[in-house]
Structure 1
Amino acid sequence: MQKSWAVPRDSDALVAAFPSRLAAEVRGAISVLPASAFPPVEPFAVDVRGERVTIPSRIYSDEPHSGAEGSLSGTEQLILRCLYSRHGDGRIRQRHLERILESDEPWVAPFVVRLAGEYVVEILEAIHRGLPGLDVPGSAQRRLYGEFISRNPSFFARTERRVVSYWSCYYRWKYPVFGTYPGSALVEAFRSAAAEQGAVLEPRHTPRPLSARDPLGR
């Protein structure tokens, strides 16, 4: 029989995914996580307003039973939804992603940007729908994501490469031109937001976007 991994309330793997000032709230949020057969895996590190956090690539706990979130504060619920946006089930990831997109907390941004570099195209579409301000110069959403990306240029470069890789592997048959793939517009919007914040990013890791001069995006 496979042993379940009981999530301790002070689990370092999950507390480390958020700024240290939120440690108590993270412990409160993870107190409702059901036991899982697997621990969180493959953490990735990013800078959030000058503090290094390490976020698991995947968690595997089932969602809490109905009503379990009722005892949590608003911040604890937001933390829980961020964690479930890292779930191994894509449907669960998308459902919780859609509930964090309106947040203006800087520690939410890495969870969203990481999902932009994954393979579920419906999630890419949900991010663009849920961040209407990303394409609006000077908007709060554009500043939030632009600042995060400007602090994490290598992370964003990996995200761009992942977007191209998943397009090429899984979606090229449906979107023969990269510029028509939902991930293309999304990473362009992120890059533009970072440029507005004065970021110095690595050279573009994606094919050039569509333009009137080159409508095929070559």
Structure 2
Amino acid sequence: MTGTNADLARAFPSRLVHDVRAVLAAMPDPPSPFMSPFSVDVSGEVVSIPSRIYNEELPIDATHGLAARQRVILHCLYSRHGDGMVRQRHLEQIVRSGEPWVAPFVVQLVGEYVVEILEAIRKGISDVATPGSAQGLLYGDFVARNASFFARTERRVVSYWSRYYRHRYPAFGTYPGCLTLELLRAAAADRTGRRWPRHTPPGLADSHHSR
């Protein structure tokens, strides 16, 4: 599936439509359509987020006219960019956000392959496993609403670790992606009051701590 700039409004809750339109009006047209949107539930509303966009980044001065919320929306969209360095720059601007509609952009990146991004997420959501914390409530609610999406993310983490990083992190439990999954799983368990299931292959669960 492909889409254009106008379709990117579907990546955010409908109440943000005016802010999203302001951001899209500032963004340059992409050289090619965005790719393969995925759907998730954000606080009871289904949104459709692109797997990748290819728009050029805006110059810094071009963002000065955007309101604070609009800049967060902009960073969310560019966290889906085809260039990993662009994704990381924009992720670092949103990873500590308290907006629930930011969560899917962060969690999607947990299931991708750039280890520097995984480290940035792990550090940015370090409070997520603290019972009752704002981060914990936000991400716990997101994972609980999107159990299948999170299970798919877990499997992707294992796949990328096995393919690209097993030599650097022989134990899956030391891999930044695994450590971040543990934080998110703890948040979901705290939010729901029950142990959150794992979706890692048999044997790998023994290489990291169980909740």
Q: TM-score, normalised by structure 2?
A: 0.92
The answer on whether the counterparts of 2:4 and 2:34 sit within 8 Å (CA) in structure 1 is: no
Query: RMSD across aligned C-alpha pairs, in angstroms?
Result: 1.9
* Pick aligned residue for 2:205 from 185, 204, 208: 208
- Separation (CA, whole Å) in 1 of partners of 2:116 and 2:166: 15
The answer on whether the counterparts of 2:172 and 2:208 sit within 8 Å (CA) in structure 1 is: no
The letter for the 2-side match of 1:80 is L
Match of 2:103 in 1: 109
- Separation (CA, whole Å) in 2 of partners of 1:139 and 1:103: 13
Indicate whether 1:94 and 2:110 are aligned.
no
* Pick aligned residue for 1:67 from 37, 46, 61: 61
Indicate whether 1:123 and 2:120 are aligned.
no
Indicate whether 1:170 and 2:167 are aligned.
no
Unaligned runs of 5+ in 1: none
The answer on whether the counterparts of 1:153 and 1:202 sit within 8 Å (CA) in structure 2 is: no
Shift of 1:6: 7.7
Q: Report the structure, 1 or 2, having the larger helix content.
A: 2
Match of 1:36 in 2: 30
Q: TM-score, normalised by structure 1?
A: 0.89
**Aligned residue pair count:** 205
- Separation (CA, whole Å) in 1 of partners of 2:102 and 2:194: 22
- Separation (CA, whole Å) in 1 of partners of 2:108 and 2:146: 12
SS in 2 for 1:31: helix
Indicate whether 1:17 and 2:11 are aligned.
yes
- Separation (CA, whole Å) in 1 of partners of 2:186 and 2:75: 27
Shift of 1:180: 1.0
The letter for the 2-side match of 1:93 is R
**Identity %, equivalent residues:** 56
- Separation (CA, whole Å) in 1 of partners of 2:68 and 2:34: 23
Stretches of 4+ moved more than 3 A in 1? 199-203, 209-212
SS in 2 for 1:46: strand
Indicate whether 1:50 and 2:36 are aligned.
no
- Separation (CA, whole Å) in 1 of partners of 2:172 and 2:199: 12
The answer on whether the counterparts of 2:81 and 2:87 sit within 8 Å (CA) in structure 1 is: yes
Query: Highest CA radius of gyration, 1 or 2?
Result: 1
Shift of 1:201: 7.9
The answer on whether the counterparts of 1:84 and 1:96 sit within 8 Å (CA) in structure 2 is: yes
After superposition, the C-alpha distances for 1:45-75 in whole angstroms (9 at most, x for unaligned) are 0000110000000000010123111111111
